[in-house]
Amino acid sequence: MNLSLLRYKFFHIKFNLDRRKKIFLILSFISLLTGILCYLFFRPSFIFHINIFKMEKFDKLVFFNFLRYNLPDGLWLISGIFLLRAIWIRNYLISQVYIGTLIIFSLLFEILQYFNITPGTFDAIDLIFMGIIALVEQIIYFLFLKE
């Protein structure tokens, strides 16, 4: 191989990693911001809660309850996964260890709510949704993004 081809491959790989790192950071920020906005606008205990959502017709909708209670937890989990992907983009094995640890602690925190060990209200749908999000992210990463 000549030197120019080696330089091209090096810069192409470096650019790809840098671009993917930025994409993961942006996705992490968007997921976190969306989760925060769900809390601010859909939770009645928060100051920015929009009064229109207190109407009973919205409270009975399954989708609205999903937006209010389950989606923020899933978005925060995926935000953490994206952030760990960005931090450990050059080392797949270490990223998987940290991501696995994050997923286990997230699920464990929810399970411990059932036993009143951690604050909050246990919700099985949270467990299912967080598990689905983690699984789908892993599949998408493995099939399309892993080099």
Residue 124, token pair as written in the block: 């099985």
| Per-residue pLDDT reduced to its tens digit, 37-78 | 888 877 766 555 555 555 555 566 667 778 888 899 999 999
Domain ranges of the chain: 3-145
The CA-based diameter of the chain, rounded to the nearest angstrom, is 71
Residue 4 CA to residue 30 CA, distance in Å, equals 38
Find the helix packing angle between 124-140 and 92-114, rounded to 10°. 170
pLDDT digit string, tens, across residues 11-33:
455 557 788 889 899 999 999 99
pTM over 0.85: no
Q: How confident is the model at residue 51, as a pLDDT? A: 55
Residue 84 burial class via C-beta count within 10 angstroms: exposed 0-12, middle 13-18, buried 19 and up: buried
Mean pLDDT over 4-11 rounds to 51
Per-residue model confidence (pLDDT) at position 92: 87
Return d(Cα 103, Cα 142) in angstroms, integer.
17
pLDDT grade, residue 142 (50/70/90)? confident
Weakest-pLDDT range from 45-49, 126-130, 143-147: 45-49
Q: Where are the alpha helices (DSSP H) in the chain?
A: 3-42, 56-59, 62-65, 71-87, 92-114, 124-140
Phi, psi of 45 (to 5 degrees): -85, -5
